[in-house]
């Protein structure tokens, strides 16, 4: 037996460390600051974990240091003044070394503090991370909400699936994997009472925005994505009435009426989508929301009711303008699917956010040129062109490693906007320039600029669009 001291804690601190405004939850990892139109999102998994800890009567702080524009000095001040018994760190592969440096600081302030890290990185590099960072006590490999609940309730660490930890003798112990946690409706609502909700805003209107989980998982096996791997290729949806209860709480308690629906495949189950949207309409919530969708799971029935319930933006993983690249990446869509999805959005007045990837192992300059041309042909409202990043645990990681297309030591410090993986024909420097070229060609079209100007509804929106356009030029297109 390895005694679990977590149930004895009195004070907990959960943090996004000050290593950049990044995606760190689930499949999404990387800098938001180097993308074109992504809003800053609450640390949703941390907020769920914080709610579970609060539910045990434990004093809990949740700090999103990057969104607070805080420094390492602020982290040290929080640790010194609050002196928690438990520290939970949100970690992403692109920032892992920087993120976990906080554990050393925490142990210097309180040697008895329990340090826990969560993140998809640990599904592969759990043992290596504990060996590399001696001040880290334990990692939760995935299903972090269920893992946190067990850590608060079970006395023996060896009986908790899905964790890797350091025992009293400093031996690293890896427990069996946790089975997929399906009862997501049993989770409390995220602990928004601990967040500075006013700091999370829409990039266009500046209004407060929050994230609501509507489902978990994905049944598809795209070679570049973690979503299927993390969910054993299952999709688990929340009860639509439970989702709308949370939306209603956000509107009434926190005065938030703008939402991003967190789901890897929001539109996959047609009846569920329609049921959720009809309940939003029935309660007359008058909210505005965005979600991600595959291009092949959208039809007129779904789009019509989504628009009526307040959907303003749909994000699509279109990925490539070449069918052969889509096929090799196992995306399972056609170029015609993408054309139909964007056409439906235009018909119902929903903005489309198109996500493309460049730098697949098999890509040449001509392939990428075709992708840029396809983006312009589709003429959606927004686009991002991200470089392929070999997330540990994906098939892409294995393919690129076998082809010797990246240096594993560079996983930290690079992400979907900062290339570390070559193709068989292009260097990382060439990919970086091609990304800038793609963004420039899409956004600096005179017709596109005129269209965007005519859609602006207020001076504040004009100001925000101008600031975002300046950011795209200065920090993405022109930056050396």
Which stretches does DSSP call E strand in 362-440?
Answer: 382-387
Chain mean position to CA 282:
30
In this prediction, residues 230-256 reach a mean pLDDT of 95
For 201-477, CATH number?
A: 3.80.30.20
Task: Report strand pairing: 30-31 vs 22-23.
Answer: antiparallel
What's the CA gap between 43 and 199, in Å, rounded? 12
Q: State the average pLDDT for the chain.
A: 92
What's the CA gap between 161 and 158, in Å, rounded? 8
- In this prediction, residue 27 carries a pLDDT of 65
Which stretches does DSSP call E strand in 122-223?
Answer: 138-140, 163-166, 172-174, 210-213, 215-216
- In this prediction, residue 273 carries a pLDDT of 98
pLDDT tens for residues 176-231?
999 888 899 999 999 999 999 999 999 888 899 999 999 998 999 999 998 888 78
- In this prediction, residue 104 carries a pLDDT of 95
pLDDT tens for residues 290-313?
999 999 999 999 999 999 999 999
pLDDT tens for residues 433-457?
999 999 999 999 999 888 888 888 8
- In this prediction, residue 39 carries a pLDDT of 82
- In this prediction, residue 479 carries a pLDDT of 61
Percent of the chain with pLDDT strictly greater than 70: 96
- In this prediction, residue 28 carries a pLDDT of 67
For 6-174, CATH number?
A: 3.40.50.2300
Residue limits of CATH 3.80.30.20 in the chain: 201-477
Range name among 79-88, 163-172, 262-271, 470-479 with the lowest pLDDT average: 470-479
pLDDT at position 251 over 70: yes
The burial of 121, by beta-carbon neighbours within 10 Å (0-12 exposed, 13-18 middle, 19 or more buried), is given as: buried
pLDDT at position 172 over 90: yes
What's the CA gap between 162 and 147, in Å, rounded? 7
pLDDT at position 480 over 70: no
More confident residue, 93 or 368: 368
- In this prediction, residue 376 carries a pLDDT of 98
Phi and psi angles of residue 332, each rounded to the nearest 5 degrees, phi first:
80, 25
Residue limits of CATH 3.40.50.2300 in the chain: 6-174
- pTM, entire model: 0.93
- In this prediction, residue 73 carries a pLDDT of 96
Extract the tokens encoding 218.
């994905």
- In this prediction, residue 475 carries a pLDDT of 60
Percent of the chain with pLDDT strictly greater than 90: 74
What's the CA gap between 184 and 187, in Å, rounded? 6
β-bridge mates for residue 156, sequence order: 3
Q: Are 137 and 146 in contact (CB under 8 A)?
A: no
What's the CA gap between 286 and 244, in Å, rounded? 12
Phi and psi angles of residue 391, each rounded to the nearest 5 degrees, phi first:
-60, 130
- pLDDT band at residue 379 under the 50/70/90 scheme: very high
In this prediction, residues 28-55 reach a mean pLDDT of 86
In this prediction, residues 323-328 reach a mean pLDDT of 97
Which stretches does DSSP call E strand in 111-198?
Answer: 114-118, 138-140, 163-166, 172-174
Q: Are 52 and 218 in contact (CB under 8 A)?
A: no
Residue in 436, 348, 337, 323 with CA at minimum distance from that of residue 378: 337
User: Can you tell me whether residue 185 is helix, strand or coil?
Assistant: helix
- DSSP of 49-71, one letter per residue? HHHHHHTTT-EEEEEETTTTT--
- DSSP of 231-274, one letter per residue? TTT--EEPPHHHHHHHHHHHHHHS---EEEEE-SSTTSSHHHHH
Tokens 């142990």 sit at which residue?
Answer: 107
pLDDT at position 97 over 70: yes
pLDDT at position 332 over 90: yes
Which stretches does DSSP call E strand in 82-182?
Answer: 86-90, 114-118, 138-140, 163-166, 172-174
Extract the tokens encoding 55.
């539910």
Phi and psi angles of residue 183, each rounded to the nearest 5 degrees, phi first:
-85, 60
- pLDDT band at residue 477 under the 50/70/90 scheme: low
């Amino acid at each position: 037996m390895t005694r679990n001291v977590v149930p004895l804690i009195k004070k907990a601190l959960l943090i996004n460390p000050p290593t950049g405004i990044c995606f760190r939850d689930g499949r999404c990892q990387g800098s938001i600051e180097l993308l074109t139109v992504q809003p800053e999102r609450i640390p949703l998994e941390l907020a769920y974990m914080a709610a579970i800890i609060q539910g045990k009567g434990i004093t809990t702080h949740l700090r999103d240091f990057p969104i607070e524009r805080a420094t390492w000095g602020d982290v040290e001040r929080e640790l010194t003044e609050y002196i928690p018994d438990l520290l939970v760190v949100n970690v992403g592969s692109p920032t892992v070394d920087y993120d976990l440096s906080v554990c050393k600081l925490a142990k210097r302030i309180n040697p008895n503090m329990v340090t826990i890290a969560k993140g998809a990185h640990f599904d592969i590099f759990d043992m290596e991370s504990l060996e590399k960072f001696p001040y880290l006590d334990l990692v939760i490999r995935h299903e972090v909400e269920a893992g946190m609940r067990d850590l608060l309730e079970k006395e023996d660490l060896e009986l908790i699936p899905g964790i890797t930890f350091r025992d009293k003798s400093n031996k690293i112990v890896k427990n069996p994997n946790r089975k997929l946690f399906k009862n997501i409706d049993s989770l409390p609502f995220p602990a928004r009472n601990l967040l500075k909700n006013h700091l999370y805003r829409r990039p266009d209107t500046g209004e407060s925005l929050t994230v609501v989980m509507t489902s978990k998982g994905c049944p598809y096996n795209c070679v570049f994505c973690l979503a299927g791997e993390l969910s054993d290729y299952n999709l688990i949806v929340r009860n639509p009435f439970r989702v709308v209860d949370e939306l209603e709480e956000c509107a009434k308690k926190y005065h938030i009426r703008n939402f991003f629906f967190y789901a890897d495949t929001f539109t996959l189950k047609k009846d569920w989508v329609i049921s959720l949207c009809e309940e939003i309409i029935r309660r007359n919530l008058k909210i505005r929301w965005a979600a991600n969708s595959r291009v092949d799971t959208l039809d007129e029935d779904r789009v019509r009711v989504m628009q009526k319930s307040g959907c303003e933006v749909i994000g699509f993983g279109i990925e490539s303008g070449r069918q052969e690249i889509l096929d090799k990446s196992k995306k399972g869509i056609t170029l015609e699917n993408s054309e139909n999805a964007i056409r439906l959005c235009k018909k119902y007045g929903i903005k489309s956010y198109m996500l493309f990837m460049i730098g697949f192992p098999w890509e040449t300059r001509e392939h990428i040129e075709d992708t840029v041309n396809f983006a312009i042909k589709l003429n959606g409202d927004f686009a991002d062109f991200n470089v392929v990043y070999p997330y540990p645990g994906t098939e892409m990681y294995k393919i690129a490693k076998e082809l010797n297309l990246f240096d594993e030591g560079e996983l930290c410090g690079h992400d979907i906007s900062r290339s570390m993986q070559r193709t068989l024909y292009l260097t990382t420097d060439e990919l970086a320039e091609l990304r800038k070229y793609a963004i420039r060609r899409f956004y600096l079209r005179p017709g596109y600029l005129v269209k965007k100007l005519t859609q602006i509804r207020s001076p504040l929106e004009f100001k925000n669009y101008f600031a975002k356009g300046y950011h795209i030029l200065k920090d993405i297109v022109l930056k050396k």
